[in-house]
Amino acid sequence: MAIRPIVSFPDARLKVVAAPVTAFDAELARLAGDLLDTMRAAPGIGITAPHVGVLLRVSVLELTRGEPPRTYVNPAIVWASDERMRHAEGSVSMPGATEEVERHARVRVRYQDLAGGFFEEEAEGLLAVCHQHEIDQLDGVFWLQRLSKLKRDRVIRRYEKARRAAGV
């Protein structure tokens, strides 16, 4: 497997809706492995194929080291609770920038595995937040778009200032 370059904010590819995966083959398995390696190196707890410039509906989550990472192909939220929660979010495409985002507290996600099999998963708490965050990214919705304009502008200013200070 390999660590791939991460697409950095504000790259336009982060606003593109990813295409459904139709080929469940060795190339898809290789992509999933590369996503895991790239996410761990970033470091992060979730990543999508668009984060590495591949516009396919694939996400990888590893909320806790030691637990098996999970790959979700063509994930979609099929149910969301009315109950909401707030959680700090960020992105591997915008390292160091975080802000609280309000999301559904529980969701049900339909997805495929690397072999093309169909599954559903109920999630709550951090896992529910991560599913919503990564599926948003697959839908071309960067996490900043979930913030008010005031908060979004503040996060972008802090991020740009940190990048300038780092000489990036």
- 134 tagged catalytic: yes
Q: What is the DSSP string of 52-82?
A: GT--BSEEEE-SSTTSPPEEEEEEEEEEE-S
Q: Which amino acid is at 114?
A: L
Among 62, 63, 64, 60, which residue's Cα sits nearest to residue 73?
Answer: 60
Q: Which residue in 67, 99, 100, 134 is the catalytic one? A: 134
CA distance 102 to 113: 28
Instruction: Just list the catalytic residues.
Output: 134
